[in-house]
Copies of this chain bind each other. A is one copy, B any other.
Amino acid sequence: MKTKALFYHAGCPVCVAAEQNLAAALDPQRFEVEIVHLGHDKSRLAEAERAGVKSVPALVLHGQAYHINFGASLSALR
């Protein structure tokens, strides 16, 4: 069974680069990557916050939030 990886972003340039380079680099044999655009899908802000996401872009893997560089803080997306 594949592990779910969640990539949260908000369409910012930093986010897009991280998505194309880093989220796309994960092993497709082991991970199923879901891309969540928090600017479009504000209903998922609470879920991201519970996972420990403070800013985007961020990748949640094995229950841990990894903030990748800095695009925008979550509070700016509300």
Check: A6 CB closer than 8 A to any chain B CB. Answer: no
CB < 8 Å: which of B18, B25, B30, B69 contacts A31?
B25
Each complex incorporates copies of this chain amounting to: 2
Look across to chain B and name the residue whose beta carbon is closest to the beta carbon of A66.
Answer: B68
Q: Report if A59-B22 is in contact (Cβ < 8 Å); known contacts: A64-B17, A66-B69, A67-B69.
A: yes
Check: A36 CB closer than 8 A to any chain B CB. Answer: no
Note all chain B residues with C-beta closer than 8 A to A66. 18, 21-22, 68-69
| Interface bits A9-49 vs B (CB < 8 Å: 1, else 0) | 00000000110011001111111000000000000000000
Nearest CB in chain B: distance from A61 CB, A: 5
